[in-house]
């Protein structure tokens, strides 16, 4: 969709300097941009790339000037760029029809302008809010509820009773509401513990491809508003993830753990059961958090077992010196050469 630079500035609530009628139809990096692409500069060291770019319109920090460019001033050009991109590149929704190959139960309730793709299945008592898109081969189990303006990409599965808020996006292969991994050992065998809870996902949540979120055992697995979950993440039963947290790929969160608001979890992190990660904490990539451990408010941790970042760096530096230190210890244990040895 094509807009003017003035319209972009108005949408962002930012100050414009230059040609307000310059056309903006897309976004790009400075090196690949055309004249109608919007670019951004968040550091003076990238100024040269922006000046040489074909793009006419640039998002910059206040006070930065670029000869021959229309500039839009903002305190956070990268965030403004992402916000503008979502506005400029709004993907067109498919037509609001139910494909003839879809199977929709008679008791299912579909809001206005809902699109249901080929071979999708909506079981009894499912509810789908207005403007939602359900792509091909999706499955919505009995009593599943999906809010307004959601987008379920192909082959998403919602088990019975799952709940999605508004503006939720689930990418291909996501499974919501499968049974948690809960067993009790007795009489020489593993007896499955009841998995009869459900999953509740708040508004504006995005879940990446092939991620899985298990239903609660006797309670509810909860994903808060604005949470962003990467590909191949596993969230176990009874977990609670606070609003606006982000979880990177291949992370596993064990049962009954709680993440606060604004938590950042790096890739390949392992979180044991019954852990607590308080608001705004940061867990570095490949960190391991033992069962029952608490990470305090805004604490940054790394390593396995996870420990404060400064301590991790210190220990890691010593770890890198272990071969050198081991050789010194061997020499100390051997001791000085004996008198007879020196004579020979």
Q: Write out the catalytic residue numbers.
A: 237
CA-nearest of 317, 265, 273 to 291 is 273
8: left (phi over 0), alpha (psi -120 to 50) or beta: alpha
Helix (H/G/I), strand (E/B), else coil: 136: coil
Please, which residues have CB within 8 angstroms of residue 134's CB and are 6 or more apart in sequence? 114, 115, 116, 117, 120, 122, 128, 140, 146, 152, 156
Q: Determine contact, residues 24/81, Cβ cutoff 8 Å.
A: no
Pairing of strands 307-308, 300-302: antiparallel
Q: In this structure, what are the phi and psi dihedrals at residue 236, rounded to the nearest 5 degrees?
A: -85, 180
H-run or E-run covering 323: helix 322-334
First CA to last CA across the chain, in angstroms? 89
């Amino acid at each position: 969709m094509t807009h003017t630079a003035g319209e972009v500035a108005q949408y962002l609530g930012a100050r414009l300097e230059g040609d307000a009628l310059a056309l903006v139809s897309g976004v790009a990096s400075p090196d690949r941009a055309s004249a109608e692409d919007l670019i951004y500069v968040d550091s003076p060291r990238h100024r040269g790339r922006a000046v040489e770019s074909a793009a006419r319109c640039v998002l910059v920090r206040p006070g930065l000037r670029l000869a021959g460019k229309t500039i839009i001033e903002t305190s956070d050009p990268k965030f403004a760029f992402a916000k503008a991109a979502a506005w400029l590149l709004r993907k067109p929704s498919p037509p609001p029809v139910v494909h003839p190959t879809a199977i929709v139960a008679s008791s299912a309730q579909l809001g206005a302008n809902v699109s249901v793709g080929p071979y999708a299945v909506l079981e009894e008592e499912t509810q789908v809010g207005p403007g939602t898109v359900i792509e091909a081969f999706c499955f919505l189990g009995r009593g599943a509820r999906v809010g307004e303006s959601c987008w379920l990409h192909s082959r998403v599965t919602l088990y019975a009773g799952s709940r999605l808020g508004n503006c939720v996006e689930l990418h291909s292969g996501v499974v919501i509401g499968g049974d948690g991994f809960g067993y009790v050992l007795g009489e020489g065998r593993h007896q499955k513990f009841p998995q009869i809870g459900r999953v509740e996902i708040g508004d504006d949540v995005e879940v990446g491809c092939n991620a899985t979120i298990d239903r609660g055992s006797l309670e509810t697995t909860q994903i808060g508003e604005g949470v962003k979950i990467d590909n191949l993440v596993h969230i176990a039963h009874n977990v609670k993830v606070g609003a606006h947290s982000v979880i990177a790929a291949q992370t596993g969160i064990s049962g009954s753990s709680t993440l606060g608001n604004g938590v950042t979890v790096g890739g390949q992190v392992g979180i044991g059961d019954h852990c607590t990660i308080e608001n705004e904490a940061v867990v570095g990539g490949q960190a391991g958090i033992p069962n029952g451990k608490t990470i305090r408010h805004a604490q940054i941790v790394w390593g396995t077992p996870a420990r404060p970042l400064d301590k991790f760096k210190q220990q890691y530096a010593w770890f890198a010196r272990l071969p050198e230190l081991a050789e010194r210890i061997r020499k100390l244990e051997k001791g000085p050469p004996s008198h007879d040895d020196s004579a020979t």
